[in-house]
Amino acid sequence: MLAKLTYLELKLLAREIIVPAVVLLLPLALLLGFGFQPGANKAQHDLGGQTAPEYMAALGVGIAVTILGLSILPTTLAGYREKGVLRRMATTPVRPAYLLMVQLLIYVAMAIAAVTILIVTARILFGTPVPERFPAFLAAFVLGMGALFGIGLVIAAVAPSSKAGTGIGMLLFFPSLFLGGVYIPREQMPGALRAVGDYTPLGATLKTMRDAWMGSEPRLVQLAIMAAYAPAAGLVAAKTFRWE
Amino acid sequence: MPVIDVRNLHKRYGAKVAVEDVSFAVEEGEIFGVLGPNGAGKTTTVECLAGLRAADRGTVSVLGLDPRRDRAELTRRLGVQLQASRLPDKMKVREAVELYASFYDRPAAPGRLIEELGLADQRDTRFGRLSGGQQQRVSIALALVGDPRIAVLDELTTGLDPQARRDTWRLIEDVRDRGVTIVLVTHFMEEAERLCDRLAIIDAGRVVAIDTPSGLVARVSPEQRVRFRPSAPLDDHLLRDLPEVRTVTRTGGQVVVTGTDGLLQALTSVLARNHIIAADLRVEQSSLDDAFVALTGRTLD
Ligand SMILES: Nc1ncnc2c1ncn2[C@@H]1O[C@H](COP(=O)(O)OP(=O)(O)OP(=O)(O)O)[C@@H](O)[C@H]1O
Ligand SMILES: [Mg+2]
């Protein structure tokens, strides 16, 4: 049953052609686009001492996780509620909570796919080293994903429709990218903005991932804050989630 | 013993009372209709049956189970088609039916079910591309795929064209003939009359009457009325002496006779004996519509 449900949900996601394209190909395109520019492989002061491909790989992971958490997750789940899919499932022996679980599982798998593709491509094409403090990198990735997916679940919990889910998601999506340092690298942001950005889920994720990549000690405060987002958001989502 | 027993069900949403006081019992193997105008509380009632909502007062028993407490067991034996419940647009018919089949221990065969529901040509069509009638049939398929003993169908034919509606009715009769008890929520008089063995008329959260369709009609007006134009002069006494006849009146060349059951047979045989032909013969009967108006004081829709 679970296998069938997962397989089918995966197929449905693949049929939304745009979704896998945006999550997997957009970050890859960014990596290639910046990585192939002349002089990209020199460490750049503007990027905190990282090379362009290394910086873009970390950025791509952040973008993929943000799109999954703040856009795809709330749109899909709120849509399932709006269509009555969750309610219909509630009349069968299988609890609709399984559907949420399967969805989360798929998004986690997609995020892992994105991070793998980016690290491997950067390594092969540009000789970018694999993140130096790998456990810290993994921790940043997992905690950041937990935070963003948790927030996505809160949106899905309260959004009355698929459109509303997309809307609220977008309301958080663009500021997240901005504060996280996706439009302007964090090193070039004004100090105040950077201070705020470092504690947003995406900002903290990007910063800790990049630190780990370069081999510097990740800041524990940042990791702790990221670790707090997921359970807090999860609790709110669980308390407010409406099945109909 | 009834398979469904609802006693003094009461349900409110905040301050809004959706179901005031509803009681009825459904016998095994019948098609039981729940008929009423918009907002009468039909959907709320069947959602309490299915265990989707907890009753505020009263008791509900389905196959001897408490829909809330024994929810897990109930879902195995009760199939539900919810009003306005859709599927993801990109899910194909076969995928949906097979997925829902995998939710049950002993499901119906998805392939056969798809064929029986006339969806064989659409098995690889996505839900979003189906016509309203086809989507409705997928919904019915999902309600039946667990091979339930009871199926609850809420607003099965709303939004369908007349042909699709008739096809769906035939389908429901087939399902009943296989021994499935059916609870059918509707606000179509014709549907209730055609399909239901018995029905409950619900208005403003209360049961107004429960009976067979013909019983409901007879309740409001047990009378039959026959009009005709006799081919030869006819003595009123000839008719008045019949035990089935109550009144005889004439308007122009027409004779209007009212009376009880068997009126028509009594009339035609007495006319035949007297070699009179009844031209323009019309039998007028009260309909379920009349019954509904008489019972609730308003028309449906
Ligand atoms: N979730 C809800 N929250 C608040 N009020 C509700 C809710 N669902 C139904 N109601 C109200 O309860 C009353 C009964 O609704 P219900 O859906 O049971 O009626 P119905 O007979 O099925 O109507 P219809 O023929 O339109 O389907 C209506 O006044 C409706 O507005
Ligand atoms: Mg209804």
Three-state SS annotation for B75-133: HHHEEEECCCCCCCCCCEHHHHHHHHHCCCCCCCCHHHHHHHCCCHHHCCCEHHHCCHH
Q: What percent of chain B has a predicted confidence (pLDDT) above 70?
A: 98
How would residue A102 be classed by pLDDT, with cut points 50, 70 and 90?
very high
- The residue in chain A having the minimum alpha-carbon distance to the alpha carbon of residue B68 is A91
**pLDDT at position B222, please?**
66
CA distance B96 to chain A (A): 9
Q: Are strands B278-284 and B224-230 parallel, antiparallel or unpaired?
A: antiparallel
The pTM of the full predicted model, rounded to 2 decimals, is 0.85
Comparing A61-70, B5-14, B153-162, which segment has the lowest mean pLDDT?
A: B153-162
- Tally of domains within chain A: 1
* Angstrom distance (rounded) from CA B267 to CA B254: 14
Please give the number of the atom of ligand 1 that sits closest to the Cα of B45.
18
**pLDDT at position B17, please?**
96
* Angstrom distance (rounded) from CA B132 to CA B159: 7
Q: Is the pLDDT of residue A237 over 80?
A: yes
Whether B291 is in a domain gets the answer no
B163 lines ligand 1 (CB under 6 A): no
Q: What's the mean pLDDT when you consider all of chain B?
A: 91
Q: Look at residues B239, B225, B232 and name the one whose alpha carbon lies nearest to residue B279.
A: B232
**pLDDT at position B282, please?**
87
pLDDT digits (tens, 9 = 90+) for B7-39: 999 999 999 999 999 999 999 999 999 999 889
At B6, the amino acid letter reads V
Whether B56 is in a domain gets the answer yes
Is the same domain home to B226 and B159?
no
Helix (H) or strand (E) holding A112: helix A97-126
Is the same domain home to B140 and B234?
no
Chain A and chain B share a number of CB contacts under 8 A equal to 60
The better pLDDT of the pair A153, A184 is held by A153
Residue B53 CA, ligand 1 centroid: distance in Å: 13
Domain with B266, as residue range(s), is 222-285
Is the same domain home to B104 and B32?
yes
* Protein residue whose Cα sits closest to atom 1 of ligand 1: B13
pLDDT digits (tens, 9 = 90+) for B158-217: 777 888 888 889 989 999 999 999 999 998 888 998 999 999 999 999 999 999 988 888
* Protein residue whose Cα sits closest to atom 28 of ligand 1: B39
Q: What's the mean pLDDT when you consider all of chain A?
A: 92
How would residue B301 be classed by pLDDT, with cut points 50, 70 and 90?
low
At A35, the amino acid letter reads G
- The residue in chain B having the minimum alpha-carbon distance to the alpha carbon of residue A96 is B103
* 3-class DSSP assignment, residue A49: coil
What angle do the packed helices A52-67 and A201-214 form, to 10 degrees?
Answer: 150
Task: Give yes or no for a contact between B171 and B185, defined as CB atoms under 8 angstroms apart.
Answer: no
Residue B141: which CATH number? 3.40.50.300
Q: Look at residues B151, B142, B138, B141 and name the one whose alpha carbon lies nearest to residue B31.
A: B151
* Protein residue whose Cα sits closest to atom 29 of ligand 1: B39
Is the same domain home to B178 and B212?
yes
Q: Which range in B41-55, B222-236, B244-258 is most confidently predicted, on average pLDDT?
A: B41-55
Do A83 and B50 lie within an 8 Å CB cutoff? no
Is the same domain home to B214 and B229?
no
Do A85 and B85 lie within an 8 Å CB cutoff? yes
Is the same domain home to B159 and B45?
yes
pLDDT digits (tens, 9 = 90+) for B132-150: 889 999 999 999 999 999 9
- Tally of domains within chain B: 2
Do B104 and A93 lie within an 8 Å CB cutoff? yes
Whether B290 is in a domain gets the answer no
Q: Of B218, B243, B267, which closes a domain?
A: B218
The length of chain A in residues reads 244
Q: Are strands B78-81 and B150-154 parallel, antiparallel or unpaired?
A: parallel
B60 backbone dihedrals φ, ψ, rounded to 5°: -130, 130
Q: Are strands B57-62 and B4-13 parallel, antiparallel or unpaired?
A: antiparallel
At A134, the amino acid letter reads F
At B29, the amino acid letter reads G
C-alpha dist (Å) from residue B284 to A140, B91, B224: 81, 50, 6
Residue B205 CA, ligand 1 centroid: distance in Å: 10
Comparing A185-199, B108-122, B155-169, which segment has the lowest mean pLDDT?
A: B155-169
Where does residue B123 rank: exposed (0-12), middle (13-18), buried (19+ CB within 10 A)?
A: middle
Do A12 and B91 lie within an 8 Å CB cutoff? yes
Q: Within the 224-283 window of chain B, which residues sit less than 8 Å (CB to CB) from chain A?
A: none
B130 backbone dihedrals φ, ψ, rounded to 5°: -80, 155
**pLDDT at position B43, please?**
95
Is the same domain home to B17 and B156?
yes
The better pLDDT of the pair B190, A163 is held by A163
Please give the number of the atom of ligand 1 that sits closest to the Cα of B40.
21
Q: What is the mean pLDDT of residues A140-168?
A: 95
Residue A167 CA, ligand 1 centroid: distance in Å: 28
Q: Of B164, B190, B218, which closes a domain?
A: B218
Where does residue A67 rank: exposed (0-12), middle (13-18), buried (19+ CB within 10 A)?
A: buried
ipTM of the assembly?
0.89
Q: What percent of chain B has a predicted confidence (pLDDT) above 90?
A: 57
Is the same domain home to B130 and B9?
yes
Q: Look at residues B213, B209, B210 and name the one whose alpha carbon lies nearest to residue B190.
A: B213
